[in-house]
Amino acid sequence: MEENWITTDKSWLYYGVFFNEATRMGLINKAKTLADIPEDWTLYGDHMTIIYNNGKFDADKELTAMELDDEICMSKYLKINSIGISDEAIAFGVSNYETQNEHSHITIAVAPGSKPVRSNNITEWYPIDSFHVYGSIKKIYRK
């Protein structure tokens, strides 16, 4: 039986690798060359979630988050080597950084009425020529 670690600290919502606006726009523009993103879809590309605080998650994944200092913004290199496409979301696959998600990814766009979390449901991933981006690891607190 797999054990889950239950956090008592509800102050934080998630850890993520965040990108500046130039990197965000670069990701969106690259995605537009690889996939047809309808005009009415909402564009994201601003971060990759590392771990989400839902109260239960694998202890090994929590260790990744616990190693981070709340006051330090660490720079992180991400290697992108696939694009995932569904009726609800488009995302880039990240191959060199493990996250809480089954497939580490950066959500680029979602359909009207959909949410970024729907990128977790993408099943069709296509290899692309790899490229990399840099971002800063940050801890986001609940409002």
Per-residue CA distances from 51 to 31, 35, 94, 105 (Å): 24, 27, 15, 12
pTM of the model: 0.83
pLDDT at residue 4, as a whole number: 46
CATH class (in words) of the domain with range 13-141? alpha beta
pLDDT at 6 over 60: no
pLDDT band at 137 (very low <50, low <70, confident <90, very high): confident
Centre a 10 Å sphere on the Cβ of residue 138 and count the other Cβ atoms it contains. Answer: 17
pLDDT in tens, 32-75: 999 999 999 999 999 999 888 776 655 445 545 445 544 445 56
Task: Over range 66-90, report the average pLDDT.
Answer: 78
CB 73 within 8 A of CB 17: no
Domain borders along the chain are 13-141
Per-residue CA distances from 63 to 67, 99, 103 (Å): 6, 11, 18
